[in-house]
Structure 1
């Protein structure tokens, strides 16, 4: 009988677990957003617009990591449903400023309540304190990643990044 070689185990890695939870969350989120006429990318754009009090179209594309064509399509969707509004910047007529409409703010609030139930379902194995700790750790990792990405963009581009 041959025995299997002993292999050193690498340290715990979170990528596969984060991907698994993300997929589960995304599938459930899509099912509750669809009746509201929203997709996850719509929700993300509306959230950014609310949290930032509006944005230039270029800065929104950078924040959402989308190219110009994709952001235009996304904003066309949001404007068609009166969820966001684009207008020319008074400071620079070549730029568009994008803002959340009242209709968009109300739909975003409905979506967030529906998604809270999804999050409760997916993270049911964690108590309140553990969820707060997870949130803090994810926020810390996201901030660090955004700072590094912004620094890399500044090194690679002659134009200042929209970070």
Structure 2
């Protein structure tokens, strides 16, 4: 029997622990978003619209890195619940402008409050300083800005 090559690895591996935390966060997040009628992709779109003060439908698709057909379906969901409003651009009638409604802004605030409580629960063993350090390290590890990290959640996995 041939021996396997020795791999120089750190004594503590993070992958399994990160996976466990991710599953716990996802399960708990879904449990607080579902009663609000939201899915993670809804939350991300609402957040982008709030942070950008509205967007053209086409620009929103680019920001979310989603196919325009999928964005239409997403916006239909949000519009049905009066969370967003779509209207023709006064500058270019071919374009749709999408904005967050007051109802959408209030629901987004409730969702963010609920998700903050989830993070507090999941990371209760860490101090505030440790949580900030963890956030910084995770951003460095993913080599992504905050908006890139958020929008990645709405993209389907590439198999």
Normalization by structure 1: what TM-score?
0.77
Deviations for 1:51-93, whole angstroms, at most 9, x for unmatched residues?
1111111111122121111100000000000001111112211
Aligned partners of 2:86 and 2:43: how far apart in 1?
17
Number of the residue aligned with 1:21: 21
CA 1:138–1:49 in 2, change beyond 3 Å: closer, same or farther? farther
CA 1:124–1:9 in 2, change beyond 3 Å: closer, same or farther? farther
Counterpart of 1:142 in 2: which secondary structure?
coil
Aligned partners of 1:7 and 1:94: how far apart in 2?
61
Aligned partners of 2:72 and 2:81: how far apart in 1?
14
Higher relative contact order (CA 8 A, sep 6+): 2
Aligned partners of 1:10 and 1:116: how far apart in 2?
34
Number of the residue aligned with 2:111: 111
Shift of 1:143: 2.0
Of stretches 61-70 and 9-18 in structure 1, the one that deviates more from structure 2 is 9-18
Aligned partners of 1:44 and 1:21: how far apart in 2?
20
Counterpart of 2:93 in 1: which secondary structure?
coil
Normalization by structure 2: what TM-score?
0.79
Q: How many residues align?
A: 144
Query: What is the root-mean-square deviation of aligned Cα atoms in Å?
Result: 2.5
Number of the residue aligned with 2:84: 84
Number of the residue aligned with 1:67: 67
Any runs of at least 4 consecutive aligned residues in structure 1 with deviations exceeding 4 A, and if so which? 11-17
Number of the residue aligned with 1:7: 6
**Unpaired runs of 5+ in structure 2?**
149-159
Number of the residue aligned with 2:50: 50
Aligned partners of 1:86 and 1:6: how far apart in 2?
59
